[in-house]
């Protein structure tokens, strides 16, 4: 992995799109890229949208009562700098990427539910990199108040034919008592994009945080390691990731759960495929209270070259914690291929059927059209695998 | 239907089958007995074409075609279907999807077939994930019904199955082997039999429970890589349960 020099990227100036009141006005190529990240430009069955291109917001709208969606800059003004939230889950001085986001904030979304509001339809967001060699600093804050429910689908995407771009994103999550946040992130970068999200969150008593992550397209260099603290009794966190690294991709991705209260549960499930690229699949569950349960499962397949480095970590700090993990890096079992061949599938059909099952996103509970887009992308990316 | 000539098969360095000759006619069901390790499963796996089973001599003819070196899926598409003893779990592959793929584009009533086998609740589960012994057998049968093969290979259809399941499985195996002939208005069973496609079976059994359900024509004992003692399967079973396989040794020597 080469060191990233932020000076290579343009973090200020350059062309800036104005407000786009109707997302259908976006140009066709950008629309196609956004669609792959789960953005519905018709805004059908969506509770609202936040869309940012390069350094600024172009669209921000809540379509349902009970959920507030603002540009983070407006939210900071409206709520006096968001004390108790802004920069509480991620350390501003962690590294040059957090510092860049702190010093020169371009935007990002602020999403907050009202207490008790169950928002049935997902809020969608897209952070889009359009210009060549653009550097984007965003900071997102999501607050799910007590007893409310929210699903955010956020796509990060880059314009077709991009020669290079950097995305630095801070995200902070706050899940209240008996609240539920499902956060689905679909990354859709290019082989020249560098990506440094920094994410942290906290879940209160009885709260549930579900994080889905899908990365199927090439990316030059990505490092992501969201950390969630379960601080209230009975809180639950689950991370599901599906990652493919084709040739040229370097992906260092993992998640961290701290079980800090009794009756908390954490689960990390990742499915990775290296098809020429490199994946570091991390996972950490810390048991600091009892009773608490954590399970970590990282499974990787190497199909057509590449490296998968699985680093599952468990840290128990109390009598009575229950933490377990299973990790596997390997190939498709010959037995499974032959089983399907005995049903009349040729070797390629059998292999692709098994890979599609391995990269199964059913567990994520996504809207159908998004699931279809993901499955189509998986079929296309299989061409490079075998 | 199936003709095996002087078949010798090696697994690794060990010669497991040593000159098998066997003919199974159209619409015939053949029962294979033999002690553990005698090579029964090896024979089935070799017929299906699995990788670890190396044919060092002899040939296999299926419906007149030499399939000795055909791949697994070519054999499946020609019409050989096998029920696996311990099939692998494939995560993320729904039973419904696999059954549909078994039909290879033919229009089938998956729900109806699953209903018959009491498998409708399993259609949306990952194939073989946490299935019990009886559920595995029923799932295998469901796939075979969708495949609709000419030759069915069953490896111990009664192993790990409770009595209630055995009834359902036995009856379904009989149905599949008879090609779905049953009394119908407008056409006699005899007429149906004339028109139906031929179906044959090769069944491995230890307990013989399956004989209660299927109409088995012939049987033989596989002992130490050789076939011997051709007789009515019921007589073979009676003999084995009384005297064990000792007599086979004498027979072969």
Of residues A69 and B160, more confidently modeled: A69
Quote the pLDDT of residue A363.
82
B45 CB near a chain A CB, below 8 Å? Answer: no
CA distance A121 to A137: 28
Query: What is the rounded CA–CA span in Å between residue B192 and residue B95?
Result: 31
* CA atoms of B6 and A163, how far apart (whole Å): 65
Q: Which chain A positions have a beta carbon within 8 Å of B149's beta carbon? A: none
A185-189, A354-358, A369-373: range with lowest mean pLDDT: A369-373
Answer whether B98 sits within 8 Å of A333, measured CB to CB: no
In the predicted structure, residue A306 carries a pLDDT above the cut 70: yes
Please give the structure tokens belonging to residue A303: 């199909």
- Flag if A336 and B50 touch (Cβ within 8 Å): no
- Separation between Cα atoms, residue A69 and residue A142, nearest integer Å: 9
**pLDDT band, very low/low/confident/very high, at A37 (cuts 50, 70, 90):** confident
More confident residue, A172 or B182: A172
Closest CA to A225 of A236, A244, A206, A211: A211
Distance, CA of A75 to CA of A172 (rounded, Å): 14
> What is the pLDDT of chain A when averaged over all its residues?
93
Residue with tokens 């069973």: B189
Position B16 confidence tier, pLDDT thresholds 50, 70, 90: very high
Taking residues B173-188, report their average pLDDT: 76
**Set of chain A residues whose Cβ sits within 8 Å of the Cβ of B101:** 340, 343-345, 349, 353
User: Which member of A341, A344, A354 has the closest CB to residue B90?
Assistant: A354
With an 8 Å Cβ cutoff, are A359 and B92 in contact? Answer: yes
**pLDDT at site A23:** 85
- Rounded mean pLDDT of B153-174? 90
Range with the lowest mean pLDDT among A36-45, A57-66, A217-226, B17-26? A36-45
Q: C-alpha distances in angstroms, A19 versus A71, A105, B46?
A: 12, 18, 68
d(CA B91, CA A301): 14
pLDDT of residue A45: 87
- pLDDT score of A288 more than 90: yes
Of A338, A343, A359, the CB nearest to B101: A343
Angle at A349 between CA A344 and CA A354, to 5 degrees: 105
pLDDT attached to residue A329: 96
Instruction: Please state, in angstroms and rounded to a whole number, the distance separating the CA atoms of residues A256 and A198.
Output: 12
Q: Between vectors from CA A281 to CA A276 and to CA A287, what angle results, nearest 5°?
A: 175
Q: How confident is the model at residue B193 (pLDDT cuts 50, 70, 90)?
A: low
> A343 and B102 in contact by Cβ < 8 A?
yes
Percent of chain A exceeding pLDDT 70 equals: 99
pLDDT band with cut points at 50, 70 and 90 for residue B253: low
Check whether B196 has a pLDDT greater than 80: no
pLDDT at A35: 82
In this predicted model, which residue has the larger pLDDT, A341 or B186?
A: A341
Q: How many CA atoms lie within 13 A of A268 on its CB side?
A: 32
Whole-model pTM: value is 0.88
pLDDT band at A93 (very low <50, low <70, confident <90, very high): very high
Task: Output the six-digit token pair for A251.
Answer: 């992906």
Of the candidates B84, B91, B104, which has its C-beta nearest A339's C-beta?
Answer: B84
Cβ contact B73–A334 (<8 Å): no
Chosen for mutation from B67, B79, B80, B92 (greatest number of chain A CBs closer than 10 Å) is B92
> What pLDDT is attached to residue B126?
96
Domain locations along chain B: 2-252
For residues B138 and B165, is the Cβ–Cβ distance under 8 A?
yes
CB–CB contact A342 B72 (8 Å): yes
Residue B78 contacts A where some CB pair is shorter than 8 Å: no
Q: What pLDDT shows up at residue B118? A: 92
Residue B160's pLDDT band (boundaries 50, 70, 90)?
confident
Residues of B in contact with A350 (CB under 8 A): 73
Please indicate if any CB of chain A lies within 8 Å of the CB of B143. yes
Q: What confidence category does residue B2 fall into, taking pLDDT thresholds of 50, 70 and 90?
A: very high
Evaluate whether B122 touches B94 at the Cβ level (below 8 Å): no
pLDDT range class, residue B183, cuts 50, 70, 90: low
For chain A, positions 274-333, list CB contacts with chain B under 8 A: 333
State the smallest CA–CA distance between residue B196 and chain A in angstroms: 23
Residue A376 above 60 pLDDT? yes
With CA atoms as reference, report the closest residue to A136 among A216, A82, A195, A217: A195
Sign of CA pseudo-dihedral B56, B62, B66, B69: negative
**Closest B-chain CA to A356:** B92
Nearest Cα to Cα of residue B81 among B128, B142, B22, B170: B142
Contacts of B92 in chain A (CB under 8 A): 356-360, 362
Residue A370 confidence (pLDDT): 87
Q: Which of these CATH numbers, 3.40.50.300, 3.30.460.10, 1.10.3720.10, 3.40.1480.10, describes B2-252?
A: 3.40.50.300
Q: Which of B24-38, B61-75, B158-172 has the highest mean pLDDT?
A: B61-75
Helix (H, G, I), strand (E, B) or coil at B247: helix
Q: Which range (A153-162, A342-351, B13-22, B148-157) has the least confidence?
A: A153-162
pLDDT for B252 = 60
Taking the Cβ of residue A269 and every Cβ of chain B, the question of whether any pair is shorter than 8 Å is answered with no
- Please give the DSSP secondary-structure letter assigned to residue B37: T
Average pLDDT over chain B, rounded to an integer: 90
Q: Does pLDDT of B192 surpass 90?
A: no
ipTM of the prediction:
0.93
Please compute the mean of the pLDDT values over residues B155-172 and round it to a whole number. Answer: 89
pLDDT score of A227 more than 80? yes
pLDDT tops 80 at residue B110: yes
Cβ atoms of A136 and A6 within 8 Å: the answer is no
pLDDT at residue B58 above 60? yes
CA atoms within 13 A on the CB side of A316: 14
Q: Taking CB atoms and an 8 Å limit, are A357 and B84 in contact across chains?
A: no
R_g of chain B, CA atoms, integer Å: 18
Say whether A336 and B102 touch across the interface (CB within 8 A). no
Q: Which residues in chain B have their CB less than 8 angstroms from residue A273's CB?
A: none
pLDDT per position as a tens digit, B82-108: 999 899 999 999 999 999 999 999 999
pLDDT of residue A36: 79
**CA A23 to CA A40: how far, in whole Å?**
9
């Amino acid at each position: 992995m080469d060191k990233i020099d932020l000076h290579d990227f343009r973090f200020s100036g350059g062309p800036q799109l104005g407000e786009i009141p109707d997302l259908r006005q976006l140009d066709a190529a950008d629309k196609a890229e956004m669609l792959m990240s789960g953005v519905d430009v018709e805004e059908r069955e969506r509770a609202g949208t936040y869309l940012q291109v390069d350094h600024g917001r172009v669209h921000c709208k809540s379509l349902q009562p009970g959920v507030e969606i603002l540009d983070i800059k407006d939210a900071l003004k409206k709520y006096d700098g968001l004390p108790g939230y802004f920069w509480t889950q991620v350390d501003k001085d962690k590294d040059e990427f957090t510092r860049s986001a702190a010093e020169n904030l371009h935007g990002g979304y602020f999403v907050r539910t009202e207490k008790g509001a169950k928002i049935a339809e997902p809020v969608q967001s897209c952070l889009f990199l359009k210009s060549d060699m653009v550097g984007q600093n965003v900071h997102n804050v999501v607050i799910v108040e007590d007893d409310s429910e929210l699903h955010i689908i956020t796509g990060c995407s880059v314009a077709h034919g991009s020669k290079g771009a950097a995305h630095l994103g801070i995200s902070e999550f706050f899940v209240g008592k008996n609240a539920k946040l499902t956060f689905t992130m679909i990354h859709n970068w290019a082989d020249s994009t560098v990506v440094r999200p920094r994410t942290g969150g906290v879940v209160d008593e009885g709260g549930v945080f579900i994080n889905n992550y899908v990365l199927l397209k090439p990316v030059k260099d990505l490092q992501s390691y969201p950390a969630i603290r379960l601080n209230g009794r009975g809180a639950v966190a689950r991370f599901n990731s599906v990652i493919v690294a084709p040739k040229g991709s370097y992906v260092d991705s993992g998640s961290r759960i701290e079980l800090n209260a009794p009756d908390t549960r954490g689960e990390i499930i990742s499915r990775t495929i290296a098809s020429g690229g490199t994946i570091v699949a991390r996972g950490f569950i810390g048991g600091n209270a009892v009773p608490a349960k954590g399970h970590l499962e990282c499974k990787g397949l190497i199909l057509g070259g590449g490296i998968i480095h699985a680093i599952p970590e468990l840290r128990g700090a109390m009598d009575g914690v229950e933490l377990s993990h299973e990790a596997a890096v390997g190939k498709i079992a010959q037995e499974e291929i032959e089983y399907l061949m005995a049903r009349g599938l040729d070797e390629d059909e059998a292999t692709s059927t098994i890979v599609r099952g391995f990269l199964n996103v059913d567990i994520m509970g996504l809207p159908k059209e998004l699931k279809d887009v993901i499955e189509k992308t998986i079929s296309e990316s299989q061409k490079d695998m075998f | 239907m199936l003709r095996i000539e002087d078949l010798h098969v090696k697994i690794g360095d060990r010669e497991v089958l040593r000159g098998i000759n066997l003919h199974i006619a159209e619409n015939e069901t053949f029962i294979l007995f033999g002690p553990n390790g005698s090579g029964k499963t090896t024979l089935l796996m070799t017929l299906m074409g699995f990788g670890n089973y190396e044919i060092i001599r002899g040939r296999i003819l299926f419906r007149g075609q030499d399939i000795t070196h055909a791949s697994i899926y070519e054999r499946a598409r020609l019409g050989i279907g096998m029920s696996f003893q311990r099939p692998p779990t494939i995560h993320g592959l729904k039973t419904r999807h696999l059954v549909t793929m078994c039909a290879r584009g033919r229009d089938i009533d998956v729900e109806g077939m699953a209903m018959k086998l009491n498998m409708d609740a399993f259609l949306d589960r990952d194939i073989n994930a946490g299935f019990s012994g009886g559920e595995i057998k029923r799932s295998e049968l469901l796939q075979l019904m969708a495949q609709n093969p000419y030759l069915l290979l069953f490896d111990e259809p009664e192993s790990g199955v409770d009595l209630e399941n055995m009834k359902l499985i036995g009856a379904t195996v009989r149905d599949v082997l008879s090609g779905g002939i049953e009394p119908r208005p407008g056409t006699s069973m005899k007429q149906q039999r004339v028109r139906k496609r031929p179906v044959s079976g090769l069944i491995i059994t230890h307990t013989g429970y399956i004989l209660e359900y299927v109409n088995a024509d012939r049987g033989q004992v596989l002992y130490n890589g050789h076939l011997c003692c051709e007789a009515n399967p019921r007589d073979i079973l009676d003999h084995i349960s009384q005297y064990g396989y000792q007599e086979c040794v004498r027979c072969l020597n």
